[in-house]
Amino acid sequence: MGNKKKAVTIHDLAQELKVSPSTVSRALNDHASIGKQTKKAVRKLAKERGYRPNTIASSLRTNRSNTFGIMVSWINRPFISSLISGIEEAARESGNRVIISQSHDITELEMENLQVLYDSRISALIVSLAMETTDYSHFELFTKNGIPVVFVDRFPTIHNIHKVHINNFSAAFEATEHLIQQGCRRIAHFGGERHQSIYEDRRSGYIAALKKNNLEVDKSIIIQANLLSAEEGMRLTKQLLDIDNPPDGIFCANDTTAVSVIRCAKSRGIKIPEELAVIGFNNDPICEIIDPPLSSIHHPAIEMGMAAVKQALAILAGDTSTGPVSSVTLDTHVVIRASSDRLGTERSEDGFRGVLPESKVKDSAPQTK
Amino acid sequence: MGNKKKAVTIHDLAQELKVSPSTVSRALNDHASIGKQTKKAVRKLAKERGYRPNTIASSLRTNRSNTFGIMVSWINRPFISSLISGIEEAARESGNRVIISQSHDITELEMENLQVLYDSRISALIVSLAMETTDYSHFELFTKNGIPVVFVDRFPTIHNIHKVHINNFSAAFEATEHLIQQGCRRIAHFGGERHQSIYEDRRSGYIAALKKNNLEVDKSIIIQANLLSAEEGMRLTKQLLDIDNPPDGIFCANDTTAVSVIRCAKSRGIKIPEELAVIGFNNDPICEIIDPPLSSIHHPAIEMGMAAVKQALAILAGDTSTGPVSSVTLDTHVVIRASSDRLGTERSEDGFRGVLPESKVKDSAPQTK
DNA sequence: AATAACAATGCAATCGATTGCGCTTTGCAG
DNA sequence: CTGCAAAGCGCAATCGATTGCATTGTTATT
């Protein structure tokens, strides 16, 4: 183990076959102007000697690294890890590698790590913004140097960008209307940083649904969180449930806080969904696990990752059919479970209902280790 | 956007400063034989022109890519994504990039993707084996070429390897003894593929605990799963609970199947932990979410990732203090929750107990999006 | 048979950074 | 004033693969 014998190069093959390195290179790349015999001989020897192309050298010469960079907040979050899984798969299928980097939701770290990605001369960058980030100038390093940047999920509030996203407004609208249909009349909202458009849009969709249904918009039950973490969720829910006129429904901007709401409510003996109907966002695996199962918005993480790669590839191929920028919107849908199902139509015994989109998610992301 | 002006190189800087590229290179790398003034001037101009080193060129010349390759089964599993998060962080801190690849638990895909990683001339490889994999010859490509391979979690059953792991035997032993202490006398086991040593060891630890406590080892309640998926868990649990003499406790080789056991048992009205005590493995986030909360073995995913990087760095630095191979074993511990706590000492109201190792996990991996 | 056309291969530059070796200058001791 | 070392910097090769252009050998055309 650990021998440091040098790897085989095309020069080694060339020497042995008494041809030039150019010929070897072309033979391996199936260039038209190389004879059949030669190609066969080269490939045979390459295999025998265990030749493997040096991607680094190739990248330097061709100026194409065939590598995508990913910048996300935290790798170990259900939505993000599925997103990455989708990116990895689509990238691999198109012959690209994937370098990964996390910002820990801190803008400064995002900036630092972007430098590293740039130094790696990635072919394209796929980003989901750090929660903190409000200034986007650090992405110009890429755009100004001709490296496509595709934003996924959390994207900047500026116009000239490529992005893959969902319609957060309408998803939130549907979620809220669902609660209203279930009889809720005083619906609270758990929202994230408003400078992140996805959270602002979810908030707007929620408010629009209330207004459309002639329900009061009470800002005292619109909760503002920073990171939408479990701890925040627990702490803020306690406050919310302590007020004189507590809500009878709540729409949370993510599942993590929704779970905290359920746990807090349960500990107080508040019946879900009868006294408090809850719906989250993302359709994380925990939705099916918690008792009662949590209604949510299905957020197509893997598909979003794949779409981002597809979009990056199109840009690299010079596809300008969508104009200077492109925006892909993926579909979401409400997944109704017991936490919001006051009419009792969706209940089951063991909680295993063959809901189509969910089994689909499971197929591509089994919760095994 | 999308201008294709070429990036600044050291030659551009050299020309403008009327010095040689060598000087620029050395100045930027803080080489001793370059004058103070020169260094200052070079760095100033580099900054002004937005110079960024081309890692690809540097890698080619120095034969060091400063890139770690990761090969895992699925990125989007709680344990794996935390593992990767740890790897990414430790790698970044040591100035290394991270390329990621997934095998989907299929050996063939593992082999194919390893080729790609090799072609990228990664500095070191960190692997958690595909469930299927029993032959390890495809890793020789790396070892024979002097590229360190560090196995994490799922490792080969051969000796001359570097690895980071836990003591699966003793963890399983402790888990099983815990069930026995709680009064269980007929304990079942849900195991994974036995050719994967981690699952074989968990099984052995379980059996050893039974024997030590003079309990019968009944193979009819040792369940063999392939992927340890939720579906498998549900299907096999149904069979298990249908037998004449059902178990009063079960130790599962992962949390996913343990959750299935709980859900299946609940749907049949079996009381947990009174009639069936359950303990899983990994301490995934779902453990705290499910009702009743699931006891488990804390599996230090992030720390394992960091340890693997540390180990790889040591090998690259030529550290032979551990001999030709090195093995790092990290600690685990039983996390007792309601699913196995028949004595009722660990209960709480809202399920938020400030268990130290858990809050630690949360700090580094908040369940937010 | 002479020439055009083409197929197959080689030559050498190139991508951007690094580095061993050698050259020039300055400083200082003898 | 000479000699010599150290400081500061440049030359040119190098890493491995790619590619425009030149070259050789072969076949087809008139």
Instruction: Give the confidence band of A348 by pLDDT, cuts at 50, 70, 90.
Output: very low
Mutate to test the interface with A, among B66, B286, B368 (most CBs of A within 10 A): B368
Is the CB atom of residue A230 positioned under 7 angstroms from any atom of strand C? no
Q: How far: A144 CA to D17 C1' (Å)? A: 28
pLDDT score, position B63 = 95
pLDDT for B151-200, tens place per residue? 999 999 998 999 999 999 999 999 999 999 999 999 999 999 999 999 99
Return the residue of A nearest to B325 by Cα: A1
Residue scoring higher pLDDT (B48 or B359) = B48
Counted across chains A and B, CB pairs separated by less than 8 A come out at 252
The pLDDT of residue A280 = 98
Specify burial of residue A350 (Cβ count, 10 A radius: 0-12, 13-18, 19+). Answer: middle
Residue A1 token pair? 């183990």
The predicted pLDDT at position B251 comes to 98
- Answer whether B157's CB lies under 8 Å from B98's CB: no
pLDDT of B142 reads 96
Query: Residue B283: helix, strand or coil by DSSP?
Result: coil
**A168-299+332-363: CATH number:** 3.40.50.2300
pLDDT in tens, A174-224: 999 999 999 999 999 999 999 999 999 999 999 999 999 999 999 999 999
Element (H, E) at A222: strand A222-224
Position B3 pLDDT exceeds 50: no
Residue ranges per structural domain of chain B: 10-53, 65-166+301-328, 168-299+332-363
Fold agreement (A65-166+301-328, A168-299+332-363): yes
A258 burial via Cβ count (<10 Å: 0-12, 13-18, 19+): buried
Does B237 contact A at CB distance below 8 Å? Answer: no
Confidence class for position A4, pLDDT limits 50, 70, 90:
low
**Does an H or E element contain B15, and which?**
helix B10-17
Average pLDDT over residues B209-215: 98
B338 secondary structure, DSSP code: G
C-alpha B321/C-alpha A66 separation (Å) is 38
Give the integer Cα–Cα distance in Å for B182 and B275: 11
Contact call for A143 and B1, based on CB within 8 A: yes
Q: Do B52 and A143 lie within an 8 Å CB cutoff?
A: no
Q: What is the pLDDT of residues A332-346, one digit of tens each?
A: 999 999 999 998 765
Residue B285 with chain A: CB contacts under 8 Å: 286
- Nearest chain A residue to B238 by CA: give it: A350
Q: Which of A281, A282, A280, A283 is nearest to A340 (CA)?
A: A280
C-alpha triplet B294, B296, B297: angle, nearest 5°: 170
Length reported for chain B: 369
CA distance B328 to B165: 6
Q: Label residue A365 by pLDDT band (50, 70, 90).
A: very low
pLDDT of residue A231: 95
Instruction: Provide the 3-class DSSP secondary structure of residue A86.
Output: helix
A128: pLDDT confidence band, cut at 50, 70 and 90?
very high
Type of residue numbered A23? T
Residues of A in contact with B259 (CB under 8 A): 289
Instruction: Sort strands A296-298 and A333-335 into parallel, antiparallel or unpaired.
Output: antiparallel
pLDDT of amino acid A359: 31
CATH level 2 (architecture), domain B65-166+301-328 = 3-Layer(aba) Sandwich (3.40)
Q: Which of A50, A57, A254 sits opposite B368 (nearest CB)?
A: A254
Residue A14 to residue A211: CA distance in whole angstroms: 75
Alpha carbon of residue A9 to chain centroid: 39
Nucleotide nearest to A39 (CA to C1'): C8
**Separation between Cα atoms, residue A254 and residue A296, nearest integer Å:** 8
A-chain CB neighbours of B282 within 8 Å are: 369
Bridge partners, residue B149, by sequence: B125
Which nucleotide comes closest to A34 if you measure CA to C1'? Answer: C8
A352, A356, A361, A362: CA torsion to nearest 10: 40
Predicted confidence at residue B320, as pLDDT, reads 75
Q: Is the pLDDT of residue A284 over 60?
A: yes
Exposed (0-12), middle (13-18) or buried (19+): which is A345, by Cβ within 10 Å?
A: exposed
Q: Using CA atoms of A309, A311, A317, A321 in order, give the dihedral in degrees to the nearest 10.
A: 170
Residue of chain A minimizing CA distance to B315: A2
B43-86 tens-digit pLDDT? 999 999 999 999 999 999 999 999 999 999 999 999 999 999 99
Q: What are the start-end ranges of the E strands in chain B?
A: 67-72, 97-102, 124-127, 149-152, 162-166, 187-191, 222-224, 249-252, 277-279, 296-298, 327-330, 333-335
Q: Which two tokens stand for residue B301?
A: 């995913």
Between B212 and B362, the higher pLDDT residue: B212
Q: List Cβ neighbours of B251 (8 Å cut-off, separation of 6 or more).
A: B172, B175, B176, B179, B187, B188, B189, B190, B202, B206, B279, B281
**A59/B contact by beta carbon, under 8 A:** yes
Locus of tokens 């209604």: A295
- The H or E element containing residue B291 is none
Residue entry with tokens 């597809």: A310
Peptide bond before residue B292 is cis, with ω within 30 degrees of 0: yes
Token output for A58: 């190739």
pLDDT at position A320 over 90: no
The model's pTM is 0.91
